[in-house]
Amino acid sequence: MYDNLEKIKNNVVSDLKNLVINGNFENRSDWIQGNCVTSTNNNIMRITGDGSSHIPRIYQDTGVTVNPGDKLYFKCSFRGSFDELVRMGIVLYAKDSSESINYNLVDGVINDKNYTLSDVSILDVSKGNLMFQIRSQFTNAASSKDKYVEVSKAMCINLTTVFGKGNEPSKKQMDEVVNGLDNSWFNDVLKLNQYQNATIQATLKENSKLEKTVENNKIEKLSDLPVNRNKFDFDKKLIYRFSSAELRYSGSNVSTDEKNTFDGENTVKLTTDNNSNAVVLMNIGSKIDLTTSNYIDLYVYVENIFNVGATQIDLMSSSGLTNKFSYYLLKDKLTEVQENGWRYLRIRKSDFQKGGSIEWSDIQYVRIVTKSSNSNNVNLSIAKLEGVTVPKGAVSLYFGDGTKGQYTNAFRIMEKYGLRGCINVITSKIGVDDAFVNWSDLREMEKGGWVVCSHTHTHKHLWDLNDADTKYELETSHKMLFDRGFYFGSRCLVVPFGHYSTRVDKEARKYYSIVRTMTYNDRDTPQMEFMQSHRRVQHYLSPHAEDDFIKLKSWVDNVIGNKTEVSIAFHRIDESETQYTTPLEEFEKFCQYVRQKVDEGILECVTWKDTLTQSLNINPIDEKGLKYVISKENKNVFLDLPLDN
């Protein structure tokens, strides 16, 4: 922002011109009608379909030449009516060119809701006059007859012409400026000094917010979490707090980390390079009894995740390696999600290998070893190690695609037994026909405690899509859920077919706080770390048609016995014959059994909202799916997704 401010100050251009002629709709001159009739009242234009096309529209030749690569900022306000209206929005293109028409449309229009559409669009077109089109789209030509949308305040500015290529402001900056100019933003000319002043004020406001949060090195949370943040953990025992306070560590390539602090205290950093080992050996002071613990929790900050090699934890009774419990697969846990930063890892105690005659009541030393997988550096900053006792197993029930039977059958049966689930909807299918749930169904389910999650917009294989189509799938689905009030669920993504990639995740992070992507390899013994799976790798099982009640019961019994969790992703709950159909009788027997175990106090039936808001997590999420502020390198980093998007 600061660089742009300087460039703006030095710019010799004195105004920002709105390229849309009569963008305030005082009259209809220079607008061409396409398969519609128009009328204006109080600077609002009504575009009414005539029944000859499913796309009534108005458009104009702005008379302004645009060049390939020009960045255009546009903004327009809409109000749509009638159930038949599918989408509405703006289309930009160059006159007499069929290349790269830019569509900027609102899908899933809600009746009588006001929309404001704005963005920065890059034109990849042949040189020519800018054509600006406002369109609506109905299900078919006949349904457009006498149906209308209303539009107001149409604006388009060529940012490249005003500021020069590479100096163009962002959409966020332009929105801040335009929103600060009361109702004048649709006039023909905007003064540059108004843009400068508004942008400078926005910068000062942002600085003030940052200064407030870093005051006294305290982190200011952005929203409130539920009081009961440790609902799912029965007991925690601190094994060791790694910091410079006691300086009882020893080993090679080990130092105190004053940069990546945890709860205001330093951490201990292991550094490796050239295939060297880094080893830290800690005397925890006195023996600790972990006999009743189910898990070992590790809080660690990782840098250069792609370079992490063999890494392990040893829990020992003495400084020698004869008697120890060892967990060798720490690298696999770290690299399952290839992401730098703070990580919270939960390891089943049963996954530690025993060496010698050690018992879990006889732990006094901790040893952590790591190695780089190549000649590059790896830094692991260790904060804390805990033993955790979990009193119950857990089951999470998911329902993929949003088919009607999930409302008429699964929801009703689960309601009968007091259970809740997550429904993962393909937003383009909602209410399309009787095969899929509608918005009314989903509101009733959410009111009953369910979470309504995104399953993308059209259910495509994300890793096969280009960047633009990936963005469309993820953003459209998120916004459709968010705009209808499904705030938490709009932050939750269930990836179709589990087909995911680092490239897709980069785009998904703009809209989603949690992603479910992967499946189990072993269908007979499903398990994962209780409640604490990484937010971007959520393992699950999808029942097949041949998986009867006995099979489903065995999954539940497994997690009860091992104090773990299973996520079961159902699809069709009816009497159809598909690979992923669960018949009603089998499903009800399963729900009855889950209820029985919940009543016995040995099982939890939970949703994503339960686990993310009520279990301890290093980067918590609140009830609307918003992230908190975290501390990194003694600076506050904002990870929240804005609620008003």
Residue 594 carries which DSSP code? H
Q: What SS3 class is residue 394?
A: strand
Euclidean distance between CA atoms 186 and 79, whole angstroms: 17
The gap between the terminal CA atoms of the chain, to the nearest Å, is 20
pLDDT at 355 over 70: yes
Q: Encode pLDDT of 279-336 as tens digits.
A: 888 888 889 999 999 999 999 999 888 889 999 999 999 988 999 999 999 998 888 7
What's the whole-number mean pLDDT along residues 444-472?
94
User: Which residues have a Cβ under 8 Å from the Cβ of 277 and sit 6 or more positions away?
Assistant: 252, 253, 369, 370, 371
Euclidean distance between CA atoms 472 and 623, whole angstroms: 26
pLDDT-derived band at 455, boundaries 50, 70, 90: very high
Q: What SS3 class is residue 552?
A: helix
pLDDT at 491 over 80: yes
pTM value surpassing 0.75: no
DSSP string, 564-575: -EEEEEE-EESS
Residue whose tokens read 């809080």: 299
pLDDT at 220 over 50: no
Euclidean distance between CA atoms 366 and 353, whole angstroms: 15
Euclidean distance between CA atoms 50 and 54, whole angstroms: 9
**Total H helices, total E strands in the chain:** 13, 37
Please say whether the beta carbons of 269 and 254 come within 8 A: yes
Q: Parallel, antiparallel, or unpaired: how do β-strands 393-401 and 422-425 relate?
A: parallel
pLDDT at 235 over 70: yes
* Residue 86, pLDDT score: 83
* Residue 11, pLDDT score: 42
Cβ-based neighbour number of residue 80 at 10 Å? 22
Tell me the H-state helices in 67-182: 159-163, 171-179
Euclidean distance between CA atoms 327 and 312, whole angstroms: 6
pLDDT-derived band at 124, boundaries 50, 70, 90: low
* Residue 261, pLDDT score: 84
Q: At what angle do helices 192-214 and 2-9 cross, to 10 degrees?
A: 150
Euclidean distance between CA atoms 263 and 142, whole angstroms: 63
Token code pair at residue 551:
């099979």
Q: Distance of alpha carbon 68 from its chain centroid, rounded?
A: 33
Q: What SS3 class is residue 632?
A: strand
pLDDT-derived band at 637, boundaries 50, 70, 90: very low
Q: Parallel, antiparallel, or unpaired: how do β-strands 15-17 and 189-191 relate?
A: antiparallel
Q: Encode pLDDT of 200-215 as tens digits.
A: 455 445 444 444 443 4
Angle made by CA atoms 237, 240, 244, in degrees to the nearest 5: 145
Residue whose tokens read 């020992």: 316
Question: Which CA distances in Å does 378 have to 282, 301, 343, 345, 583?
Answer: 20, 11, 15, 18, 51
pLDDT at 418 over 90: yes
Euclidean distance between CA atoms 174 and 196, whole angstroms: 11
Q: Parallel, antiparallel, or unpaired: how do β-strands 565-570 and 393-401 relate?
A: parallel
What is the chain's mean pLDDT, rounded? Answer: 81
* Residue 99, pLDDT score: 52
pLDDT at 436 over 80: yes
Q: Distance of alpha carbon 419 from its chain centroid, rounded?
A: 25
Q: Encode pLDDT of 45-64 as tens digits.
A: 999 999 999 999 999 998 88
Nearest to 354 by CA among 345, 341, 342, 363: 363
User: Which residues have a Cβ under 8 Å from the Cβ of 537 and sit 6 or more positions away?
Assistant: 336, 337, 515, 517, 518
User: Which residues have a Cβ under 8 Å from the Cβ of 266 and sit 6 or more positions away?
Assistant: 243, 244, 245, 256, 257, 258
Angle made by CA atoms 322, 328, 334, in degrees to the nearest 5: 145
Q: What SS3 class is residue 326?
A: strand
Please say whether the beta carbons of 454 and 515 come within 8 A: no
* Residue 35, pLDDT score: 93
Q: Encode pLDDT of 175-203 as tens digits.
A: 776 766 555 544 444 554 455 555 545 54
Token code pair at residue 522:
């072993």
Q: What SS3 class is residue 111?
A: coil
Nearest to 574 by CA among 397, 395, 399, 449: 399
Nearest to 490 by CA among 507, 502, 477: 477
Q: Distance of alpha carbon 65 from its chain centroid, rounded?
A: 39
What's the CA dihedral at 327, 333, 335, 336 to 10 degrees? 150
Nearest to 642 by CA among 225, 77, 222: 222
Q: Encode pLDDT of 512-540 as tens digits.
A: 888 887 766 667 777 666 655 666 777 78
